[in-house]
Amino acid sequence: RSSVRVLCGSNWSLVLQGQWMLEFYAPWCPACQQIEATWESFAKESEQLGITVGKVDVTQEPGLSGRFFVTTLPTIYHANDGVFRRYRGSRTLEDLQGYILERKWEAVEPVAGWKSPSSLMMHGMAGLFHFSGWIRQIHNYLTGTLGVHVWISYAIFILATLLIGLFLGL
């Protein structure tokens, strides 16, 4: 049984309380696969370190990866009572433990308030990521289920974008 807490859109706010290390990964990512055993070992030591270790599958949680503005994989964040810092150190077990034990995170600049995952702006970013996933589902339905040609699907989205723009402009 894994000691790593799996976070999703409904329980991500747990990281706003206490001290966390959070990994954003994708199952297909080779670098993420390399760090998986180390992350599990780190999680097993988490109780002695006084932290909670979590992970987010970006393929399942696009809104959450948008909220944290994840652009590379794996991405690791340290959170302490809602203050977020991006971890950019080595991904060895010793370095991860040292980051916590030696409080190296205190020397790292926190994520700016407006870019914080709990900010209104990043809430909107999460919404955009959800919206893009919804558009992708519609495209897949049109092309896969209904058999519409890809270019016709694109034309439908272009037309919808223009019509919505015209409507909002009025």
Catalytic site residues? 29, 32
Q: What is the CA radius of gyration of the chain?
A: 19
The token pair that represents 106 in the structure block: 């205190």
d(CA 43, CA 45): 5
Residue reference for tokens 């909670």: 52
Please check whether residue 53 is in contact with residue 4, taking contact to mean a CB–CB distance below 8 angstroms.
Answer: yes
d(CA 1, CA 44): 10
d(CA 139, CA 67): 24
Q: How many CB atoms lie within 10 A of CB 53?
A: 24
- List, in sequence order, every residue forming a beta bridge with 23; answer none if it has no partner: 55, 76
Q: 104, 103, 76: which is closest to 88 by C-alpha?
A: 76
